């Protein structure tokens, strides 16, 4: 139905979420609402950062991780912790589960960034080199530019020229493939894969700090594992 309708539906769902919390009229509902507003604020910050980065020549790895933490990290952190709060968990338990969701979100986004460049279009539903076409400053790109070396410098030159180009949409598949190859040569692909595994490890560590039924722990662990190994 298009982006405009999607935004309207998203706004309606957001209002409905608050209605559901207000209907409870309990102390825990207030705590849950606070987590929802905090996550929403971070999501807005992250989206604004993401848009602004598309128009900058350089973005640091730290800035990219902050942006992705504000978006995907905050979203999954809220999704995991808010149910715990409504189920009667104390703040320490909810905060620890929030940490699990936050790191899981960063792991998810790192893998998503890899798929945004090297994913199979038949699986992802996106064009080849999707994130490169949109000039996104995703983790593989940012890590490659920060790495230094000949491939990194050449990539930086190409992307700087791309930013000034008025004919970017006419680039051939070979031109996008060349940029992807430079990202990989500079180490951006491997660094991002390692970051996904590192964030996955932090998510699992957070689970160890929470007392929960064995089956629940298994399910949350399986979810984290799926995020890192998914192909689409």
Domains of the chain from N-terminus onward: 3-229 (1.10.600.10)
pLDDT tier, 125 (very low <50, low <70, confident <90, very high otherwise): confident
DSSP state of 127: -
Single pTM value for the model? 0.90
Share of the chain above pLDDT 90, in %: 74
pLDDT in tens, 197-223: 999 999 999 999 999 999 999 999 999
- Lowest average pLDDT, out of 32-36, 102-106, 121-125, 137-141, goes to 121-125
Cα 29 to Cα 24: distance, rounded to the nearest angstrom: 6
Write out the H or E segment, with its range, that includes residue 214. Answer: helix 214-229
The backbone region for 25, taken as left when phi is positive above 0, alpha when psi lies in -120 to 50, beta otherwise, is left
User: With pLDDT > 70 as the criterion, what percentage of the chain qualifies?
Assistant: 97
> What would the mean pLDDT of 106-132 be, rounded to a whole number?
89
20 pLDDT higher than 60: yes
Where is average pLDDT lowest: 102-111, 147-156, 158-167?
158-167
Q: Whose CA is closest to 54, among 121, 110, 132?
A: 132
DSSP string, 135-171: T---HHHHHHHHH-SHHHHHHHHHHHHHHH-S-GGG-
Cα(44)–Cα(28) distance, integer angstroms: 25
**For 76-111, what is each residue's pLDDT tens digit?**
999 999 999 999 999 999 999 999 999 999 999 999
> CA 13, CA 176: separation in Å to the nearest integer?
37
**Residue in 101, 102, 99 with CA at minimum distance from that of residue 80:** 101
**Residue 171: its pLDDT value, please?**
80
CA 165 to chain centre: 28
Q: What is the 3-state secondary structure (H, E, C) of 29-98?
A: HHHHHHHHHHHHHHHHHHHHHHHHHCCCCCCCHHHHHHHHHHHHHHHHHHHHHHHHHHCCCCHHHHHHHH
Q: How many CB atoms lie within 10 A of CB 96?
A: 19
């Amino acid at each position: 139905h298009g982006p405009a309708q999607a935004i309207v539906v998203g706004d309606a769902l957001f209002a409905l979420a608050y209605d559901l919390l207000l209907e409870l009229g309990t102390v825990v509902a207030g705590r849950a609402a606070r987590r929802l507003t905090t996550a929403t604020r971070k999501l807005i910050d992250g989206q604004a950062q993401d848009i602004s980065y598309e128009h900058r020549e350089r973005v640091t790895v730290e800035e990219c991780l902050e942006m992705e933490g504000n978006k995907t990290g905050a979203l999954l952190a809220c999704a995991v912790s808010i149910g715990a709060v409504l189920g009667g968990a104390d703040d320490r338990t909810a905060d620890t589960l929030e940490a699990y969701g936050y790191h899981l979100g960063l792991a998810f986004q790192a893998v998503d960034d890899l798929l945004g460049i090297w994913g199979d279009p038949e699986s992802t539903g996106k064009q080849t080199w999707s994130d490169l076409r949109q000039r996104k400053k995703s983790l593989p790109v940012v890590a490659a530019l920060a790495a230094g070396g000949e491939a990194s410098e050449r990539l930086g030159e190409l992307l700087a020229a791309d930013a000034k180009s008025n004919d970017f949409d006419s680039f051939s598949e070979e031109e996008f493939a060349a940029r992807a190859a430079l990202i990989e040569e500079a180490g951006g692909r491997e660094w991002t894969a390692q970051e996904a595994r590192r964030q996955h490890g932090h998510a699992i560590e957070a689970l160890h700090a929470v007392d929960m039924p064995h089956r629940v722990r298994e399910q949350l662990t399986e979810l984290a594992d799926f995020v890192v190994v998914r192909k689409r």
